[in-house]
């Protein structure tokens, strides 16, 4: 594997990749961190920040992606439904998906 200069910016970029989302949904944060450590010479400070980013992404995977969602996690009537176009984000209701679309359409991949 080619060596990379690790910054919070390129970790964020990397974590935006769909394969990371599927990995995140399966794996615990700690195993992701150790994967990162094994593959990349990860400075502690950066690692700390990337852990926060991972926590945020993990939370988003288990939560409705609508930032203004009126429902509490765990109280979703129909569980979470993934965006049918990108399968990266999930919403607890049709109205949340509609509300978030103006933001999500910028990153939604066909």
- Cβ-Cβ contacts under 8 Å for 59 (sequence gap 6 or more): none
Q: Which of 39, 43, 85, 94 is in the footprint of Zn ion by CB under 5 A? A: 85
Residue 4, classed as helix, strand or coil, is coil
Q: Which of 23, 27, 33, 108 is in the footprint of Zn ion by CB under 5 A? A: 108
Q: Which of 69, 90, 97, 100 is in the footprint of Zn ion by CB under 5 A? A: 69
For Zn ion, which stretch binds (CB under 5 A), given 24-32, 45-53, 54-62, 89-97? 89-97
CA distances for 84 relative to 20, 49, 90, 100, angstroms: 18, 31, 9, 14
Q: Which of 15, 63, 64, 90 is in the footprint of Zn ion by CB under 5 A? A: 64
Rule CB under 5 A: say whether 90 interacts with Zn ion. no
How far apart, in whole angstroms, are the C-alpha atoms of residue 80 and residue 67? 14
How far apart, in whole angstroms, are the C-alpha atoms of residue 66 and residue 101? 9
Chain contacts with Zn ion (rule: CB under 5 A): 64, 66, 69, 83, 85-86, 92, 96, 108
């Amino acid at each position: 594997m080619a060596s990379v200069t690790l910054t919070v910016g390129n970790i964020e970029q990397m974590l935006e990749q769909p394969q990371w989302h599927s990995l995140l949904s399966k794996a615990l944060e700690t195993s992701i961190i150790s994967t990162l450590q094994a593959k990349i010479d990860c400075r502690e400070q950066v690692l700390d920040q990337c852990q926060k980013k991972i926590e945020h992404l993990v939370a988003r995977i288990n939560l409705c992606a609508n930032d203004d969602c009126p429902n509490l996690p765990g109280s979703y009537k129909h569980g979470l439904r993934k965006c049918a176009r990108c399968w990266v984000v999930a919403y607890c209701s049709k109205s949340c998906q509609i509300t978030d679309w103006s933001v999500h359409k910028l990153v939604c991949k066909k």
